[in-house]
Amino acid sequence: MSVNVSEFGSLNDGRIIHKYTIQNKNNVSASVITYGATLTEIWAPDKNGVFKDILVGFDDIEGFIERTDYQGVIVGPYANRIGNSTFTIDGTQYNLVANENKITCLHSNGEFNTAVWNAEIVDDSCVAFSYMSPDGLNGFPGNLKVCVKYSLNDENELKLEYSAVSDKKTVINLTNHAYFNLGGYDSGTILNHRITINANKYTPVDDFSIPTGETADVENTPFDLRNETKIGELIDADCDQLNFTGGYDHNFCINGYDGSVIKAAEVTDPESGRTLEVLTDLPGVQFYAGNFLKGVIGKSGVPMVKRSGFCLETQFYPDTPNHKNFPQCTFNAGETFNSTTIFRFSAK
């Protein structure tokens, strides 16, 4: 195991952005930069032992500043959407920045992914990234101390360990927004990938992608992904839920959620054999199939076309503070949020 540090570029104010690369004995590696604590590269072998970078994203800091669709970033204080950009805690209403359609608050107005995080090498397999979110920024209450540890083991498991604590009662919902293409970032769309999601239910949304509050059965719908399914098979089916979001962009309610780390999803690229398993201790996972990628230029000059990457964002459900029937994510002052997500890589 080893950790290598290099420069990734600089911001207009002169601050240097560093890249930390963790590599295991199998030559599998993961790279994270201090801008947004962003996961920029994962190199993994196919069934023939050929390594490729399986993350869709950018080669330079300018891409993450100017053209990003949240590729690889840490999202918070509240990942995903909050309806009408408002929520209430103990009778106090908090009004957030409405950065999506001037109505919803999406990914907390991009706070975490535009911040420069502090980084510390913990050991030869782990790097910790930390950030302080100030009270009131984008409308969220509390000074929030956040740490995300990235570690890689010799079983080809990339572990993300999140912790956060605020000095005021607040909502906390953190995730990583990596876009995967298991054929390699330059291999076209992910429509031929096969996906399995361990969920009997999902959260339907309205035409602004805000949950209705219902948890609906996936059976006999395009959201029944409990058995291995080709992503492209039903992604364009004529139903309101897919029409609202242009394809899959929904939260799935993970079966067996009890706060322990369990398997949420698995995706395989049949051509390369590369397989990703996602494990988490959170109640939901947002499956997003890259419906809104519009061909911006990414790594090696390759355009990120529609559906050239998929996301599996482990999370509390979207808009949880406004739906008391959802598993809740409001934390008291001084109460620590802890969560673990594991991305496990193999080849079939």
Q: Which residues are catalytic?
A: 177, 313
C-alpha of 162 from chain center: 13
Q: Are 41 and 55 in contact (CB under 8 A)?
A: yes
DSSP state of 25: T
- Rg of the chain taking only CA atoms, in angstroms: 19
CB atoms within 10 A of CB 276: 24
User: Can you point out the beta strands (E) in 46-97?
Assistant: 51-53, 74-75, 81-82, 86-89, 92-95
Q: Position of tokens 């802890």? A: 338
Rounded to 10 degrees, the C-alpha dihedral 32/126/184/314 comes to -80
Which of 140, 158, 41, 155 shows the shortest CA–CA distance to 97? 140
CB 241 within 8 A of CB 203: no
Query: 149 Cβ partners below 8 Å, 6+ apart?
Result: 122, 126, 127, 128, 129, 159, 160, 161
Instruction: Answer whether 85's CB lies under 8 Å from 139's CB.
Output: yes
Beta bridge partners of 118: 130
Residue labelled with tokens 């590599």: 23
